[in-house]
Amino acid sequence: MWEQYRKTAAITQIFVLGVCAAMRFFANIPWPAVVALFVAMQLGALLGTWWGVRMRRRVTAEEDDLPLKRRR
């Protein structure tokens, strides 16, 4: 999972910081709400990476199986 996260970490972090800065300075959202948004977006990035790696593993595992192999 960490290998995939490292591939997209820089772009993800720039996006998260940009959204949080926009919410604070353009929308005048209070700091506690911005911090809550930051934490939620970080958790979402981690969960999204975990889910994506899990889906990729499932897809590649199914491609390697024979078409008529019985499923358990």
The per-residue pLDDT for 40 is 96
Q: Are 23 and 34 in contact (CB under 8 A)?
A: yes
* pLDDT tens digits, 23-47: 999 999 999 999 999 999 999 999 9
What are the extents of the domains in the chain?
2-64
pLDDT beyond 80 at 67: no
**DSSP H or E stretch at residue 16:** helix 2-25
Whether 70 shows a pLDDT value over 70: the answer reads: no
Q: What percentage of the chain has pLDDT greater than the value 70? A: 85
Rounded to whole angstroms, how far apart are CA atoms 30 and 64? 51
